[in-house]
Structure 1
Amino acid sequence: MADYLVNVFLGDEHLKKIEAAGLQGNVVDIAGKKAVQVPMTQKDQKKLVKGFPGLDFDASNACVLPAEAEEKLFNIVLDMKTIDVMKFAIMKLYNPLAGKAPRSAQR
């Protein structure tokens, strides 16, 4: 079992795409909504919290990303046809240099 999870909630269109990708076995029901749960490690979780301050985790250590990041993660899941994508997705979702001024080269 993963340390943490990212819940990606699915509307009708997203659900059809998940089924077309052969991932319908990964669809779960969360409070009456269909979702896929993308597993991640504690290290990945720390990176996400840095990248998305204010990210809330529930009692089952699951969170929901902001809409734009959630859509990116959903597309990565579809492209790779697996939910075990966090190692790759973290590079697309988390930019550790965001908001930092570039350093000038010192000589």
Structure 2
Amino acid sequence: MFYIYILYSPSSDKYYIGYTEDLTKRLFMHNNPINNKYTSKHLPWLMKKSFEVGNDKTLALKLERKIKSMKSRNFIEKLLNPDQGNKLFQDLIKKIISAC
């Protein structure tokens, strides 16, 4: 099962979007970096939300890229909103699948 996840860094007031099969392991890796990548500069990271994508790694990657390409904090915060986030995410999945 693949997931899209949203992390938040309170020290930098930044969000990070990613995809993974193992949410716990991925959060640990972001907070305990082996090398000097983007997330190592904004520790600590908190898991704000995750969305199940299913077993399609390609779809998970496309969703991650689409959300990142929007470069929109407003959109990320809408995804985090309990009232509209899940619907917004499902609409995004439909849009990506129909574009294929």
TM-score when normalising by structure 1: 0.37
Q: Name the structure with the higher strand share.
A: 2
TM-score when normalising by structure 2: 0.38
Q: Name the structure with the higher helix share.
A: 2
